[in-house]
Amino acid sequence: MQLSNSSKYAIRILAYMADQKDSKLMNATELAEALYIPYKFLTKIMTELVKVGLVVSIRGREGGYKFEKKTSEIMVSDILDIFNDSIKDEQCVLGIGFCNGLCKCALHDQWMEPKLLLQKMFRESSLEDIAGRGCKI
Amino acid sequence: MQLSNSSKYAIRILAYMADQKDSKLMNATELAEALYIPYKFLTKIMTELVKVGLVVSIRGREGGYKFEKKTSEIMVSDILDIFNDSIKDEQCVLGIGFCNGLCKCALHDQWMEPKLLLQKMFRESSLEDIAGRGCKI
DNA sequence: TATAATTACTACTTAAAGGTAGAATTAATC
DNA sequence: GATTAATTCTACCTTTAAGTAGTAATTATA
């Protein structure tokens, strides 16, 4: 596809958090162990999510992370944007060559179709959609 | 998406070659200049394409490259395979988590659709399809 | 107030992809 | 056979993503 590990981890983390029944504070150790993400790498990612305003961090003892926004308002594309993984450029999906509106390779139009589908999903699928199907991702 | 540069370059090179009216030998210098690909990197890629049997190289003076197979028989997926860029794994398109047939995230099925579309194109679009629309890619 | 538990920050290391250099090999042509 | 134009091979350099380490800052609780 390929998304960066940061994007994938971030989606896993946030979907996992969204899936928790009680919206208690979750700490880094807990998340890292539950999701098999290296602890230090996880905290790095969490800091990004805090900076961008998706989650809030409470520092110090008994601290942890919780959502800043409602999970139904956080779209997959918001998360991908953070790590520059969105597919929002004007070029054809594969980015093979020099295609543009005027001059395009023969596959350009065909590739537009799945591209648009993916973009649509990225924009329209919220964390709430991803989480809570009896399956931890 | 993102394909490796090697894959993208390879598709550009082969599509360009397929677009040439006369199937003359094309040399590395010519291709590199026409397609804005670093000469040395291009030759590295060409060597891969030779090894895998898509093109033949004629060494020495007046040498160059030409197709081994008919361009209508070379699929985009063949090229992606060489550089391990195909999306043929069993996981969901994003490869976010631990989805599989039994346990899958809520987006798994949605993502299957564009994934299958892309795979279909990769398999069914030949070099002949890509080339020859009055537009060099 | 001391301690333990927690996130944040800064900087480093590692691995992989992308790209480059130069010499070796091959073969047409003079 | 020598020269020259081409590909091929081996090895190296550079850049970026991924991951690690150590320490500072913060805060609840005993």
CA distance A5 to chain B (A): 9
Q: Is there a contact between A137 and B97 (Cβ–Cβ < 8 Å)? A: yes
In a domain, A114, yes or no: yes
In a domain, B78, yes or no: yes
Question: Can you give the CATH number for the domain in which B74 is found?
Answer: 1.10.10.10
Distance (Å) from CA B84 to C1' C17? 13
Q: Is there a contact between A55 and A105 (Cβ–Cβ < 8 Å)? A: no
Task: Tally A–B CB contacts below 8 A.
Answer: 113
**Beta strands at B55-58 and B64-67: parallel, antiparallel or unpaired:** antiparallel
pLDDT tens-digit map of A21-35:
776 899 999 999 999
In a domain, A113, yes or no: yes
In a domain, A136, yes or no: no
Number of domains within chain A: 1
**Inter-chain residue contact A93 with B15, CB threshold 8 Å:** no
* Mean pLDDT rounded to a whole number for chain A: 83
Task: Give the span between the Cα atoms of B96 and B111, in whole angstroms.
Answer: 11
In a domain, B59, yes or no: yes
Listed in sequence order, the residues at least 6 apart from A112 whose beta carbon sits closer than 8 Å to its beta carbon are A92, A93
Block means of pLDDT (10 residues each) for chain B, length 137 residues? Answer: 84 87 82 90 94 91 90 90 73 61 67 80 83 56
- Integer-rounded Cα radius of gyration of chain A: 17
Q: How many CA atoms lie within 13 A of A92 on its CB side?
A: 22
Highest mean pLDDT (candidates A66-75, A94-103, B15-24, B76-85): A66-75
Range of the domain at A91: 5-130
| Residue-level pLDDT at B19 | 82
In a domain, A40, yes or no: yes
Letter string b/e over residues B11-35, b meaning 16 or more CB atoms within 10 A of that residue's CB = bbbbbbbbbeeeeeebbbeebbeeb
Q: Taking all atoms of strand C, which protein residues have CB closer than 7 Å?
A: A 27-29, 40, 43-44, 46-47, 50-51, 57-65; B 4-6, 9, 38, 40-41, 44, 58-63
Class of residue A43 by CB neighbours under 10 A (exposed 0-12, middle 13-18, buried 19+): middle
Average pLDDT value for residue range A76-87:
86
- Nearest nt by C1' to B83 Cα: C17
Task: Give the span between the Cα atoms of A86 and B8, in whole angstroms.
Answer: 19
Task: Determine the distance from the C-alpha atom of residue B84 to the mean position of all C-alpha atoms in its chain, rounded to a whole number.
Answer: 10
